[in-house]
């Protein structure tokens, strides 16, 4: 677990020291760092991640990480200290009775699956059991226990504690006949894979299904690693997605979405224009997500994704879908060929070059901003490389502490991609890496700007770069001296040639390292969708003759 010391959690910390054979408590240097590390640990392990903090500012500093866990369905347990129960303000109209008293439960109620203040030490096992059950059950997410100091220091008879027993749920059978009938009738079906497949720990199962279906498959951005080594993978969809992926969906007559929210970043502002000529089938464990329809006549199935994938796999084994959809694959391959390399710019080439030297069986984290999209677009994935993002919450400062959690969960080398802006959000966690000598490689893209917002200012604010570039107020430090201060090996590159000349030991050994990638030109994310336009017509606009040619392409005229 991860956390930061404070007065109201001293008894908890003391207890950690008594159980060092079972609990490893890693001190971070900010509570937000602890929260993101817990998220990374849970994402990589597929199990619960835990973070703790003291009352007041310690607890509130966890909230960004709690939101991240909620929106990305990450199973986490957050433990916050609180003032003694006899010092709580209760019904008094005062703002607080005791120093650092803060009602954290009310603050996180809307972004947790379960949040409660423990009022009786004898109920601690019940609350722990229930919190972990809620975090792991159904659509996963965060739970929080707020524990007053007098509860922490209470003695309990462990053998007499009563736990929480969840009510038994009868397993409902999953009927996939409507999906199979739709596949049988389709000429050009496409599978959309969302983050739900990753949070359900179903990546191996979905790979098997994709091979049996033999149809073009696309992903959401934060699921780019779900089927990275499949020949049926056509990239990720959406505003910053692969052109070929967006074209494939546009030309489909059936879109089967498994575990994807299909939000505005994926389908565009006018939801009805997404795969407008296709039947849409949406599979999700969360009925709330299904309420936000893409097409009014879409087919919906609320179910556990693993159950659906299992039933579809059984049904597909008796079919010969790859032969049935061979012409459709030919269309998709034409799209791949015609659109290949169209949007390769310097940052994309740099990411691609770096990825060549990152080994298989490792973890990659990204921050939020341009670096995130460049990695999603251009990182050349190898076997068993896992990539994690801050998806729904989109929190800058995620990558570095998440990399710590991922590395400790897996034991594998971890590569933290970040920008000069995002890194500075939680730069203090370089000390965590240096202190524990974790094999985390920090790869920072330094364009000396908040690049994504600078691009917005260029487009919509007549290039008034206020607060986003040095002239407007944003500056970055000397990262070489920063790395030196933390005792980390350092290298600077600014071209593909310099990356190729880099000492590869720096990227592959078991020690921390800091690689600064300097980009002196103004940076952009392309392709980029203009608000309100259809997904396949991204900017910069492609040649209209080619665009029209690809729009006319179909299984009927291949």
To the nearest 10°, the Cα dihedral for 202, 391, 411, 360? 70
Task: State pTM to two decimals.
Answer: 0.96
Dihedral-angle region of residue 532 (phi above 0 means left; psi in -120 to 50 means alpha; beta otherwise): left
Instruction: In whole angstroms, give the CA distance from residue 228 to residue 222.
Output: 12
Residue 529 phi, psi (nearest 5): -90, 130
CB 229 within 8 A of CB 381: yes
Instruction: In whole angstroms, give the CA distance from residue 134 to residue 69.
Output: 13
CB 71 within 8 A of CB 393: yes
pLDDT at 91: 86
Strands 2-3 and 26-27: parallel
pLDDT at 173: 85
Strands of 130-186 (E only): list them: 142-148
Find, among 423, 388, 436, the residue nearest to 25 by Cα.
Answer: 436
399-439 pLDDT tens trace: 999 999 999 999 999 999 999 999 999 999 999 999 999 99
Residues of the chain falling short of pLDDT 50:
none
Using DSSP, state whether 418 is helix, strand or coil.
strand
Strands 363-366 and 440-446: unpaired
Structure tokens that stand for 197 in this block = 């497949």
The CA–CA distances, whole Å, from 493 to 32, 49, 359 equal: 30, 35, 19
Structure tokens that stand for 514 in this block = 């800091």
DSSP 509-548: SSS-EEEEEE--S----SSBPPTTS-TTSPBSPPPHHHHH
Strand order in the sheet with 489-493: 386-388, 363-366, 414-419, 440-446, 513-518, 489-493
Instruction: In whole angstroms, give the CA distance from residue 506 to residue 514.
Output: 9
Helix/strand/coil percentages in the chain, nearest 5: 45, 15, 40
pLDDT at 527: 95
pLDDT at 532: 86
Q: How many helices (H) and strands (E) does the chain have?
A: 26, 18
CB 555 within 8 A of CB 251: no
């Amino acid at each position: 677990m991860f956390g930061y010391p404070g007065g109201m959690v001293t008894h908890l910390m003391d207890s950690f020291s008594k159980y060092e054979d079972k609990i490893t408590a890693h001190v971070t240097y900010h509570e937000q760092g602890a929260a993101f590390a817990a998220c990374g640990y849970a994402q990589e392990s597929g199990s619960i991640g835990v973070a703790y903090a003291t009352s007041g500012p310690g607890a509130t500093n966890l909230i960004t990480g709690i939101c991240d866990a909620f929106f990305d369905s990450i199973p986490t347990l957050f433990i916050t200290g609180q003032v003694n129960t006899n010092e709580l303000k209760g019904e008094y109209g005062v703002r607080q009775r005791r120093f650092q008293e803060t009602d954290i439960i009310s603050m996180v109620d809307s972004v947790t699956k379960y949040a409660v203040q423990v009022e009786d030490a004898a109920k601690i096992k019940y609350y722990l059991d229930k919190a972990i059950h809620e975090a792991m059950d159904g659509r996963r997410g965060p739970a929080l226990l707020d524990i007053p100091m007098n509860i922490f220091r209470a003695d309990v008879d462990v053998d007499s504690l009563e736990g929480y027993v969840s009510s038994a749920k009868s397993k409902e059978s999953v009927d996939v006949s409507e999906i199979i009938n739709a596949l049988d009738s389709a000429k050009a079906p496409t599978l959309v894979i969302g983050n739900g497949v990753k949070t359900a720990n179903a990546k191996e199962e979905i790979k098997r299904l994709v091979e049996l279906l033999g149809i073009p498959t696309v992903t959401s951005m934060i699921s780019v690693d779900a089927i990275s080594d499949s020949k049926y993978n056509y990239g990720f969809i959406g505003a910053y997605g692969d052109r070929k992926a967006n074209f494939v969906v546009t030309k489909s007559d059936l879109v089967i979405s498994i575990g994807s929210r299909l939000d505005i970043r994926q389908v565009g502002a006018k939801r009805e224009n997404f795969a407008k000529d296709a039947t849409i089938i949406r599979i999700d464990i969360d009925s709330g997500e299904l309420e936000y329809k893409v097409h009014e006549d879409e087919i919906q199935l609320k179910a556990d994704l693993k159950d659906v994938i299992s039933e579809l796999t059984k049904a597909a084994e008796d079919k010969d879908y790859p032969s049935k959809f061979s012409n459709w694959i030919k269309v998709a391959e034409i799209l791949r060929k015609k659109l290949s390399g169209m949007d390769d710019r310097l940052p994309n080439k740099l990411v691609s070059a770096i990825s060549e030297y990152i080994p298989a069986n490792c973890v990659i984290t990204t921050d939020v901003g341009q670096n995130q999209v460049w990695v999603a677009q251009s990182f050349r994935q190898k076997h068993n490389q896992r990539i994690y993002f801050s998806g729904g919450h989109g929190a800058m400062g995620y990558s570095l502490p998440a990399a710590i959690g991922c590395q400790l969960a897996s034991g594998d080398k971890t590569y933290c991609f970040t920008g000069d802006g995002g890194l500075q959000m939680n730069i203090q966690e370089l000390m965590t890496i240096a202190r524990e000598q974790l094999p985390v490689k920090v790869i920072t893209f330094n364009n000396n700007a908040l690049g994504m917002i600078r691009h917005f200012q260029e487009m919509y604010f007549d290039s008034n770069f206020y607060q986003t570039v040095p002239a407007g107020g944003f500056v970055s430090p000397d990262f070489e001296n920063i790395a030196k201060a933390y005792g980390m090996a350092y290298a600077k590159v600014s071209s593909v040639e310099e990356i190729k000349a880099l000492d590869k030991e720096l990227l592959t050994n078991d020690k921390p390292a800091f690689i600064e990638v300097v980009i002196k030109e103004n940076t952009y994310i392309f392709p980029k969708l203009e608000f309100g336009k259809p997904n396949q017509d991204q900017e910069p606009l492609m040649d209209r003759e080619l665009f029209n040619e690809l729009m006319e392409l179909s299984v009927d005229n291949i």
